[in-house]
């Protein structure tokens, strides 16, 4: 598991000698341990940093317990720096050497799979889950009073049993009390677990009722629904929630890409392409950054005013300063956007963004 504090530590670290960043898929349903080790050795053959290669191989061969589905490793042995993070999510194999840890895959994982709350609800109670980085944790649920179903056409006032409408009123009153209790418990759970996005499972009727009773501030965080029974097993809930998270994330990112392109076309608060996006980041104007996960391009930064360019220029047209080469300007864009408290969305595949420079942004102003 990785935290925001861990990500900040990676953001702040740099080394003139270079940092080896390794992402390795160890999902036992996709690759056997020995096969993963072979894949790692093949990847490491391209790296000319023997101390870091040895540190990574030693960790995988002697310390890694192979219980996770993916692992990220960052090594700079000359700087006495070595960090590892395990995940319950498959990772694509990737290896890179740079002056800073390569964090884009981590940013994508954290944006996609952190801060989720899952609620299974019916008329009597609810099951509450937090869902972070592939780990589904069930909290103590909430259970209200039993809801007694009335028979259609039942009721006989002649013998003092009361009418069917009286029985229905009692049932409705019980459901209302239960929903109120469920809502109170759910809100407390959301706050305690820093939930940013909510999925609701259950019948159509129960989901609608739960959403209707939620305060508007929490209603705005509901991003998905799915049919499921209250007695569903852990694996069924995990599978449904995982798929829904991916579906929701894809739709949200697609909408944001279209919004950024439309705003850019109107000359409003949007930019597309690396050079315009880099300079909007430098000015602190980026609200949401959108970038493809495999996009890489060198750039140049003025050591005087910070102006950025994708073309090599001898002197800065604004301050006559000199330009320094940046090996991966796209990774730098991701870092600087995070430092400026922008939302960063890393997309695995998006044809629309691919056609518009592979990077875009929605601006604050």
Pick one of 2.70.98.40, 1.10.10.410, 3.30.420.60, 3.90.550.10 as the CATH number of 113-232: 3.30.420.60
Per-chain mean pLDDT for the chain: 92
- Say if residue 155's pLDDT is above 50: no
Rg of the chain over Cα atoms, rounded to whole angstroms, equals 26
pLDDT at residue 79, rounded to an integer: 96
Q: Other C-beta atoms within 10 Å of 73: how many?
A: 23
What pLDDT sits at residue 151?
Answer: 56
The mean pLDDT value for 336-365 works out to 96
pLDDT digit string (tens) for 195-217?
A: 999 999 999 999 999 999 999 99
- CATH 3.40.50.2300 is the classification of domain 250-363: no
Q: Cα separation of 215 and 212, whole Å? A: 8
Instruction: For residue range 128-153, list pLDDT tens digits in order.
Output: 999 999 999 999 889 988 887 655 54
Give per-residue pLDDT as tens, 300-349: 988 898 888 888 888 998 999 999 888 889 999 999 999 999 999 999 99
pLDDT value, residue 159: 38
The whole-number average pLDDT for the span 57-65 is 97
Please measure the distance between the N-terminal and C-terminal CA atoms of the chain and give it in whole angstroms.
35
pTM of the prediction?
0.88
For the chain, give every domain's residue range. Answer: 4-102, 113-232, 250-363
Q: Calculate what percentage of the chain has a pLDDT beyond 90.
A: 83
Domain 4-102, CATH = 3.30.960.10
pLDDT digits (tens, 9 = 90+) for 224-269: 999 999 999 999 999 999 999 999 999 999 999 999 999 999 999 9
**Residue 188, pLDDT above cutoff 60:** yes
């Amino acid at each position: 598991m990785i935290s925001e504090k861990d990500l900040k530590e990676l953001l702040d670290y740099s080394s003139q000698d270079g940092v080896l960043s390794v992402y390795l898929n160890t999902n036992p349903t996709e690759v056997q341990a020995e096969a993963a080790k072979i894949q790692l050795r093949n990847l490491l053959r391209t790296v000319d940093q023997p101390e870091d290669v040895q540190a990574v191989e030693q960790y995988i061969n002697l310390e890694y317990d192979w219980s996770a589905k993916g692992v990220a490793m960052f090594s700079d042995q000359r700087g006495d720096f070595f960090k590892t993070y395990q995940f319950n999510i498959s990772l694509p194999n990737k290896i890179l050497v740079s002056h800073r840890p390569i964090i884009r895959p981590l940013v994508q994982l954290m944006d996609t799979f952190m801060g989720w709350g899952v609620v299974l609800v019916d008329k009597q109670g609810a099951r509450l889950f937090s869902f972070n980085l592939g780990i589904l944790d069930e909290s103590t649920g909430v259970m209200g009073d039993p809801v007694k179903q009335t028979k259609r056409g039942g009721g006989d006032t002649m013998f003092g049993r009361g009418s069917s409408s009286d029985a229905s009123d009692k049932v409705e009153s019980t459901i209302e009390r239960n929903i109120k209790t469920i809502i109170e418990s759910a809100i407390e759970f959301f706050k305690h677990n820093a939930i940013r996005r909510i999925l609701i499972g259950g019948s159509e009727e129960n989901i609608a009722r739960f959403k209707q009773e939620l305060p508007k501030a929490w209603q705005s965080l509901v991003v998905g629904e799915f049919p499921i029974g209250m007695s569903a097993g852990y694996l069924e809930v995990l599978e449904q929630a995982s798929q829904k998270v991916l579906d929701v994330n894809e739709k949200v990112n697609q909408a944001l890409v279209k919004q950024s392109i439309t705003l850019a076309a109107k000359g409003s608060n949007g930019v597309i392409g690396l050079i315009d996006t880099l300079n909007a980041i430098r000015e602190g104007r980026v609200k949401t950054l959108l970038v493809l996960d495999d996009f890489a391009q060198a750039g140049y930064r003025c050591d005087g005013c910070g102006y950025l360019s994708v073309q090599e220029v001898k002197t800065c047209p604004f301050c006559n300063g000199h330009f320094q080469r940046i090996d991966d300007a796209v990774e730098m864009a991701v870092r600087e956007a995070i430092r400026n408290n922008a939302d960063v969305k890393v997309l695995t595949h998006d044809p629309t963004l691919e056609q518009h420079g592979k990077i875009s942004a929605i601006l604050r102003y």
